[in-house]
Every structure is written in C-alpha cells, then in structure tokens.
Structure 1
Amino acid sequence: MKKLFGRVLIVVPAIALQAAWFYFFLVNINGVMDEHIVNAIHLIFTVLAVMFVTNLIAKRDESSYRLLWVLVITALPIFGALLYLMLGHKSTGKKLKRRLERSRKQLVTPDADTSKDLISEIKQSDLRIGQSLEHLCASAQFPVCRNDTSKYYPLGEDAFPDMCADLKKAKHFIFVEYFIIQSGKFWDTLTDIMAERAAEGVDVRVMYDDLGSISTYSVKDIAGLKKKGIKCIPFNPFFLISSQLNNRDHRKIMVIDGEVAYSGGINLADEYINEIERFGHWKDIAFRVTGTAVDSYTFMFAEFWNAFSIDKIPADLLEKNRPVHTPPEKENGYIIPYYDSPMREEHTSNELFTDMLSAATDHIWFYTPYLLLGDALFDAFIRAARRGVDVRIMTPAIPDKKIVHRLTRSYYEDLLKAGVKVYEYTPGFVHAKAFIADDKVGSIGTVNLDYRSLFLHFECNAVFFKADILNELKKDFIATQAKCKEWKLEDIKKGFLHKFVDNLLRVIAPLL
C-alpha cells in the first residue's frame, strides 16, 4: 500500500494536469478564442470523428472493440476523437513498435533454418495442424523447434524449488521478466540466490511491468537490487495517460544461461505459490524447457531489455555463452515459443485459439481466469460445440475482480446452450492459461481469454505438438475438474435488469 501511495503522489498530479488541460480546451474554449476559430476547431474534430468512425467500420479488426469506439466517438465527437487518437488507434504505438524493431535488428534471431523441415514433418503427421502452426511461425516470427525436455508444474509451489536449484547453477546470465513482482518468500528467496550469483560475476537482469507491479514494486526496490549487483528496469513506466498505457508486458520468462527457461501463468509473489491466501487456493501452472526452444525465450527477453534499457545486453554475452543444443535423446514432439504483440496487424493468439477450435475433432479444453471473448473467438467456441466437439472451459469460482467475474459469467448462457461445458474451480482462483486439443496439440503461457491479453498486451506462449507435457496437462485438467462445479442452464440468473447489466458490461468489455 505504501508503494502504491508513493506512486499515486507522482502520477496523480501529472494526470490531473492532463485532465485540467482537456477541461480548459473543451469547456472554456469559447471564452478564450475567436468564434470563427472555435467553429473551425469543432468542424475539424467533427470531420475527424466521421473519418475515425468510417475507418473503424471498414477496418478488419475485432468487431466488439470497433463497436465500443464507434459508440464513444458518435456520442462525444470531440472528446471521443481525442480519446481515440490517444488510446484507441494502433498507430499511436508506433514509437513503441520502432523501439522493438530497432532492438530486434541488432540481435541474432532464433535459428529458423530447420523450421521449414520441422513444419513439413508436422504436416506429414497432421496436415491441418501443420498449416496452422506454419502460419503461427510466420505471424509471430518465431521458429518451430524439436522439443527436448519439458516439465509441467500443476502448481506454482511445485516450480519454486526447481527455479531455485537452476538459479544456483547459473554461470553466465540470468534473465527474469514478470508482470508482477512482490517482496515475500518467493521473490526474496530468488533475489538472494541471484545476488549470490551476481557476486560471482553472473550477469543478472530483471524486468517487470510498471503498471502490473504499481502497488508491489518501486524505484526504491530497484535501488535495492542494484546494490546487490542485479540490474533492473520497469517496462513502459506509467507517468501520464498516453497511447502506450494499454500496452503492458504481461509475459512471464526466466532464462538461465540459455540452457533452461521457465514460463507459464505464475508471477513472482507469494499467492502464486500458496504461501499466502488471497482468493482461496491459487491454481496456477508453469513449465520448464530445455533445448533449442530456450533460444527463443532468450531472444524475447533480450529484445525487450535492449529496447527499454540504456545498459544493453552485450552481444558477446549471448553469443559466446550460447549453448550448443544436441538433438533430443528421444522423440518428444515439437514446440513453438512465441510472443504476442499489440503492434502487429494480426492478433496471434486470438487467431491460434480460433483456428484450433475449428480444427478440433474430438475435444478441446481451456484453462482461463477471465472470459471476455471477441466475436470471432466466441463464435468459434459455439461452432465447435455444435458440431459435437467436447469443449470445456475452466474458470475461477472465487474471483479477484468481481466486475470481470460478472462479465465472465455473462457468456455462460450462450455457451451452455451450444453444448460447451463450463466449470468453476470452487476451492479458489484459477490463474492458469492453457488449452489442449485432441491429445496432440496445446499451449501453455500467459494468455488469458480476454481483450487485454488477446488484443492489447504483450504476452508469451508455447505451443506443443505431440509432446509428453500435453499428457501431464490433460491429467491435471481432469484432476482439477473433479474439484469444480459444472454450470447448468438452470444456474443462470434470469431477469431483465440482470440481463441489461450484463449486456452493458459486454459493450465496455474491451476496456476491462
């Protein structure tokens, strides 16, 4: 709370100045400018509003997101046009995009030479899935790799000791990137180990999202890490309401020496290992991979770090210490680690999930803490269930955000009518993000089934094809389902007012 109060003292005055400027411009404009100038300004913004609405209607993008902006601009032409210029238009993130592009060009990209051969192998096994994964690689610009070892953790506390053990073995570098970092048993233990390794000459770098950790981490904490020899920066610092405010770094990555990588849903705070209880039992998942897939996670971190830090990662640190990955001892399928970017024209994970729902023939099951679906993905769930696919969605019974939970439940009726099975985890909060389809393809990562993850945030995900880890994911889903309540149509609340509120929330869902 102290950290949040400190940030409020810094941020609120800056935002208040912005708000005061808007108020002065929009309300008092008539008193300080010539009438002809005022009329000209009104005309300009009216024309802009019409242009924006026309563009929104015509553009190929998520319809729910477009509809919200059309309503805002139509109802409040001047204010809506200004707001859309600041927050709604992708071109407003060009500065952020250019930073990442410059950083990417200066790095050695993950080896894609063998990717085409591996895609061909996948196509021989399953043409439909192979086509989808080939498009995924092209869209995200990451290669498919042979899966070496991949370990599944059904709870955050299961991953914790392995993380500690691997960190203690670090010889060259440790890269840590998480949405939320908070002092406690989890983070403090990792910090102590990283400080020990830094003292031995290991290059240790930590990056966190400034808005995600606004109440849990601060400049003071960064200074504390630097005293221990650990470099640390916040991603996209939050000071003013800007075009890039919505674009948060929701990724979770830990890379050690380019040999081992961790990812999944867990953040570095004590509720994620059930050391403290916030919303009942915290159900989350993580995974550990080795082999060539780790190169992709190393690249992801280096690209972001070099884009936002003055202290760049030396090229020789990565090249001289890049491990030589030997072929896996046994066949263990394929893996495609990638990240989502709101700067791309295509919404990579949204398209992947929609495509996998279309390709599934027997079953497709999803873990997600939030369910705020765009029209294309919503329809894909319904169509898959209607053609006889066993479609299941698991969400929390105890929410961390009540309005978002209410909105999540607003989708249940249509899904249940189509034949989708919906389960709520009664012991607590599901924070896992994963899917498995037909026992042969699935993903684990940071992507929620909501607007922010699918359209606005930077996310990271790993798609597995015919890998052993999928068996563990399925077993875990079945075991977790046994602790859930299955929703039925008779559980849905009826009534005009209730439905009206749900519909209103659905309209504003892209902002939540």
Structure 2
Amino acid sequence: MKNIVGIGLLILMLVSTWHFLLNDVDGGLIFYSSLILTLFLVIIGFNIFLENRDPIQTITWLVIFCAFPFIGFIFYYLFGRNFRKERIFRKKYFLDKQTFVKISGEAGYNERIKEMGEHPQQLITLANRLGNSPVSFTTETRVLRNGEETFSNIIEELKKARHHIHLEYYIVRDDRIGGLLKDILIQKVKEGVKVRFLYDAVGSWKLARSYIDELKNAGAEMVAFGPLHLPLLNNKFNFRNHRKIIVIDGSVGFIGGLNIGDEYLGQDQKFGSWRDTHLIIKGEAVRTLQLIFLQDWYYSTNNSFLSDEYLMTGMPNHHGYGGVQLIGGGPDSEWTIIKSIFFKMITSAEKSVWIASPYFVPDDNILQALKVAALSGLDVRLLVPKNPDKRIVFHASRTYFPELLASGVRIFQYNEGFMHSKIIIVDDQMASIGTTNIDMRSFHLNFEVNAFLYRTESAQQLVNDYMEDIKVSKEVEIDEFSKRNFGLKLLESTCRLLSPLL
C-alpha cells in the first residue's frame, strides 16, 4: 500500500498525457483513465478507512474524492498520505528515546519539584514521561519580545562562540538579516568554530543556492531536513521540521516563534509590525535543546556528536530561576506530546488560561477543554491576528469563535501588525513558549519544540506582555460577530472543511 498512490499517480499521468497527445476526445482512453482513477480512489479510500483516522478527517477525504475525484487525488497525494508515520520515523524515535532516557536517568528529579505544589508537579511529571526531559531549576531564561530584540541577542551571542554553533530553522531567507547571520557564521568558521545548520527543505525552498554554497565553501555544514529529490515518490513531504533552535557552545540557546527573515523584523509592507516571542536560555536546560538538535542532525546526516564536548553545559550556581523543561514533539513519537501537555495545562488550570496563537484550528479535545474551562468560571482568553497570512487557516479559525464565545471564552484580535506569538499561560505561574501552534499540523505532522516554564521570572514577563498585547487588541463581541454576511460564513465553513486535510 505504501507505494500504490505514487504508482497510481504515475500511471494516471501517463495515460492522461497519452490521451492529450493523441487528442482522443471520444476514444477508449477516456474510459480507461476514468477506470484507473476510480480504482485507485477506491483503494485510497479503503486505506484511509483502515488507518482509523479521526472520523471527521476520514469523512472529509471521502467526500472530496466523490465530489472532485482528480483534484482530490492530487490533494491527497501531496498532503493527506499517512503511510503510518511511526514507520517512517521509527529509527529516529527509538534513537531519540534511548538517548533522552539516559540523560533523564542521569539528571533525575529534584526535590524542589515537590515544593512547587500538585499542579506544577503533575505537569512536570507528564512532560518528563512523554518527552523524556527532566526539569531544571538552574536555568536562566529571558523573554525576547520582538524581532529586533531577538536578533540583536542572537548576533551578540553568536559573536561570543568559541567551540560550536548549531542552528535549526524552518524558514531561512537570503535577505538583509539572513545575509548578516551568514556573514557572522562564515567569520566564526574562520575562527575555528564548528557551524552546523539544519534547515527545512520545504519551509526554505526559496533559499538561494548561492547562500547555501557560500556557507559550505567557507567550511560550515549545511543540511536540508527532509529533502524532496523526487517529490512524486517522497512519502515524507507532509512531515516538516518547524523547529527554531540555536545552541551556542552548549551553554546558550534560543527557541521561539521567529524564523530567519526580514519580515520577522517588521519589514514586510503587507504586515508591517511583526509581534512575536522568543526565549534565550542559559544553563542546564540547554543540554536538552542540544540533544534535540543533535538527534535531528543524526537523523538527517547519520553523523552523531553525542559526546561530552557537546553535552556539558555551563550551569549557574543560583537556584532561584524556577523550573524549565524543553520538550520536542513530532510525528516520530508514539504520543502527541506537546498537545497532551497543552491539554493537561488547560484541564488542570485553577484560575486562568491565556493563549496566543497565529493559527488556531483546534481538534475536538483542545476545543472541548477550552469550553469546559470557560464554563467552569475560569478566565479563558484567546489572542489571534486580525489580518491573515494564511487565508484558509485564518478563515477556518473563525468558525470556532461562536461556540467559544458562547461558553465564555474571551477572544481578542491583535491590531498592531501581525501576531505570530505561540504562548499558553496558566494561572499566571506556568507557561509554554515555542514553535507549536494550536492546530492539527503542529500537533500531528510537524517537528516542534517548546519550553515549559514553572514559576520563573520569564513566565511572569509573558503575563505582563500578554496584558500589553490585549490593550492593543479588539475584543470580539458575539452579537457583532454573528452579523457576518452569508458569503463570508460560507467561505469560513469551506475552509474549516478543508483544514483537516492540511
């Protein structure tokens, strides 16, 4: 079954091309083309049925196949194929698990976990069991609120590098900020610093070959994650590396929502100001971030660097930073790791749940958790962009507003440019910051990474920043929102129907 879709598409293309060249309008090739297409659609439909996907997703695919057979076939080939994703990444999953379990066993639990109370303790335990990552109480974190602050800190720390620089990004652009970072990396290579750069082949498909060659020629190692040598036969097309990671000398790390590009500095005329959130990390927890990068690097290159020179970190002696856990999630896991932690954060909240997400297309579990939390009297807030950058996701997200508003969730649309932060704050004390959106692609298809913060100063800073963002946002009122015209409602409903396929 694994290759049957690719084979079917090739046969269909050959038959269609033959038919076109012969201009056989009334000939038998039309019949045979239709027969082949019908046969493969039946096989695909049966395969989807046996995969036991979400019922809504299964029904959506079957409806698409019936209504638009040829378009549905192409769409499914590009975005819908599952191919038992755990089989594709089985080797990576077991290698990651063995490595992280070993590190977790060495680090163990800290007595301070018990001092934090039952709620944080449950979250820490869940995150450790799912992500095999211990919590650190000797890690310093600081919130970076925009592109200018983020890139200025990144540049400052890159220039201090003495041993190695590891970068992992979904999008890399050959523009002003991309060129500046490239020049710094080339200079560091000349100084003897090892530079390894992992970029996603789909997210960075526009990246100029000259950019890559300059870094490689200088001595940096630059590798594409999930390269598409033969797209028509590549079963990993749909599983992308959405992580944004920098590790410098094993002691300083960066994660968050910003890719490498001028638009993240607010220099895109379409969006103007770009509101995003990043995190700088120093100390013990950087080792986990390093492990995530090294395992992704090993998966992409077959080269392993799991040695003390990369896993020894500078550990601050101060123990007053609160708890920090770095968790990686992706299609290689047997669990939907980050989604499960999000679900636990929401369902165990005692006072408030504040969420910021540029792409909000929740599954039933997260949606129900938010509604129940609001109906229980908790302060549940959702911050989303006012203007779209991905129209299908944007319009699909609006279809969830009526039921959320009816349950008591307060929804705010950010007015000052584009809001790209990916934040969850619970009870003003615990927070998540990273690359994961509240959508099914982040939960099930992408490789993501998030920092979970427990009673840290940076968690409090996220609370303060969220309150400031609310001040420049407009709250959605249910009466006004319900007055949308029929055409817009129809568009939104259509986008929601398509969203499980993306």
- Return the TM-score normalized by structure 2: 0.87
Q: Please state if 1:308 is matched with 2:297.
A: no
Q: Deviations over 1:392-449 (max 9, x none)?
A: 1111112212332222222212111111111111111001101110012110000111
**Uncovered stretches (5+) of structure 1, i.e. residues with no partner:** 1-14
Q: Please state if 1:470 is matched with 2:430.
A: no
Secondary structure of the 1:399 match is coil
User: 1:510 offset after TM fit, Å?
Assistant: 2.0
Q: Please state if 1:227 is matched with 2:211.
A: no
Q: Which residue number corresponds to residue 22 of structure 2?
A: none
User: 1:306 offset after TM fit, Å?
Assistant: 1.6
Root-mean-square deviation (CA), in Å? 3.4
Contact 1:394/1:425 (CA < 8 Å) preserved in 2? yes
Q: Deviations over 1:143-170 (max 9, x none)?
A: 2222421011111211222211211111
Q: Deviations over 1:115-144 (max 9, x none)?
A: 5523x6435533244223312222222222
**Given the superposition, is the C-alpha separation of residues 305 and 123 from structure 1 closer, same or farther in structure 2, using an over 3 Å criterion?**
same
Which of the residues 132, 137, 152 maps onto 1:146?
A: 137
Q: Which amino acid aligns with 1:461?
A: N
Q: Which residue number corresponds to residue 23 of structure 2?
A: none
Which of the residues 251, 266, 270 maps onto 1:259?
A: 251
Matches of 2:18 and 2:115 in 1, distance apart? Answer: 68
Matches of 2:471 and 2:311 in 1, distance apart? Answer: 44
**Given the superposition, is the C-alpha separation of residues 17 and 219 from structure 1 closer, same or farther in structure 2, using an over 3 Å criterion?**
farther
Q: Which residue number corresponds to residue 24 of structure 2?
A: none
Q: Which residue number corresponds to residue 389 of structure 2?
A: 400
User: 1:196 offset after TM fit, Å?
Assistant: 1.4
Q: Please state if 1:297 is matched with 2:315.
A: no
- Return the TM-score normalized by structure 1: 0.85
Contact 1:64/1:375 (CA < 8 Å) preserved in 2? no
Contact 1:85/1:92 (CA < 8 Å) preserved in 2? no
Matches of 2:40 and 2:6 in 1, distance apart? Answer: 26
**Given the superposition, is the C-alpha separation of residues 281 and 115 from structure 1 closer, same or farther in structure 2, using an over 3 Å criterion?**
same
Report matched runs for 1:334-345 at 5 Å: 334-345=323-334
Contact 2:130/2:335 (CA < 8 Å) preserved in 1? yes
Secondary structure of the 1:284 match is strand
Contact 2:109/2:135 (CA < 8 Å) preserved in 1? no
Q: Which residue number corresponds to residue 6 of structure 1?
A: none
**Given the superposition, is the C-alpha separation of residues 302 and 283 from structure 1 closer, same or farther in structure 2, using an over 3 Å criterion?**
same
Matches of 2:404 and 2:397 in 1, distance apart? Answer: 11
Which of the residues 428, 437, 442 maps onto 1:448?
A: 437
Moved more, 61-70 or 39-48: 39-48
Q: Please state if 1:195 is matched with 2:186.
A: yes
Which of the residues 342, 350, 360 maps onto 1:353?
A: 342
Secondary structure of the 2:104 match is coil
Q: Please state if 1:382 is matched with 2:371.
A: yes
User: 1:457 offset after TM fit, Å?
Assistant: 0.7
Matches of 2:160 and 2:70 in 1, distance apart? Answer: 58
User: 1:19 offset after TM fit, Å?
Assistant: 4.9
Contact 1:152/1:469 (CA < 8 Å) preserved in 2? yes
**Given the superposition, is the C-alpha separation of residues 347 and 328 from structure 1 closer, same or farther in structure 2, using an over 3 Å criterion?**
same
Identity of aligned residues (%): 28
**Uncovered stretches (5+) of structure 2, i.e. residues with no partner:** 20-26
Q: Which residue number corresponds to residue 357 of structure 2?
A: 368
Contact 1:394/1:424 (CA < 8 Å) preserved in 2? yes
Contact 1:62/1:374 (CA < 8 Å) preserved in 2? no
Contact 1:63/1:375 (CA < 8 Å) preserved in 2? no
Q: Which amino acid aligns with 1:224?
A: E
Matches of 1:455 and 1:16 in 2, distance apart? Answer: 23
Contact 1:281/1:429 (CA < 8 Å) preserved in 2? yes
Q: Which residue number corresponds to residue 49 of structure 1?
A: 45
Matches of 1:133 and 1:466 in 2, distance apart? Answer: 12
Q: Which amino acid aligns with 1:65?
A: Q
Paired positions, count: 487
User: 1:89 offset after TM fit, Å?
Assistant: 5.3
Contact 1:155/1:286 (CA < 8 Å) preserved in 2? yes
Matches of 2:78 and 2:388 in 1, distance apart? Answer: 31
Secondary structure of the 2:105 match is coil
Secondary structure of the 2:360 match is coil
Secondary structure of the 2:404 match is helix
Q: Deviations over 1:332-358 (max 9, x none)?
A: 211110111123232122222222111
Q: Which residue number corresponds to residue 507 of structure 1?
A: 497
Contact 1:62/1:375 (CA < 8 Å) preserved in 2? no
Q: Deviations over 1:86-128 (max 9, x none)?
A: 854544435641452475489676621365523x643553324
**Given the superposition, is the C-alpha separation of residues 113 and 452 from structure 1 closer, same or farther in structure 2, using an over 3 Å criterion?**
same
User: 1:286 offset after TM fit, Å?
Assistant: 0.5
Moved more, 416-425 or 406-415: 406-415
Q: Which amino acid aligns with 2:118?
A: L
Matches of 1:340 and 1:475 in 2, distance apart? Answer: 28
Report matched runs for 1:56-205 at 5 Å: 56=51, 59=52, 62-72=54-64, 88=80, 90-93=82-85, 96-101=88-93, 104=96, 111-113=103-105, 116-118=108-110, 121-205=112-196
Matches of 1:490 and 1:105 in 2, distance apart? Answer: 50
Secondary structure of the 2:321 match is coil
Q: Deviations over 1:183-206 (max 9, x none)?
A: 233222222221111111111011
**Given the superposition, is the C-alpha separation of residues 324 and 47 from structure 1 closer, same or farther in structure 2, using an over 3 Å criterion?**
closer
Which of the residues 209, 212, 215 maps onto 2:203?
A: 212
Contact 1:264/1:285 (CA < 8 Å) preserved in 2? yes
Contact 2:90/2:332 (CA < 8 Å) preserved in 1? no
Contact 1:273/1:282 (CA < 8 Å) preserved in 2? yes
Secondary structure of the 1:505 match is helix
Contact 2:159/2:184 (CA < 8 Å) preserved in 1? yes
Moved more, 128-137 or 355-364: 128-137
User: 1:72 offset after TM fit, Å?
Assistant: 4.3
User: 1:84 offset after TM fit, Å?
Assistant: 6.2
Q: Which amino acid aligns with 1:499?
A: K
Contact 1:49/1:80 (CA < 8 Å) preserved in 2? no
Secondary structure of the 1:206 match is strand
Report matched runs for 1:416-431 at 5 Å: 416-431=405-420
Contact 2:253/2:281 (CA < 8 Å) preserved in 1? yes
Matches of 2:173 and 2:43 in 1, distance apart? Answer: 47
Matches of 2:275 and 2:231 in 1, distance apart? Answer: 34
Q: Which residue number corresponds to residue 489 of structure 1?
A: 478
Contact 1:280/1:398 (CA < 8 Å) preserved in 2? no
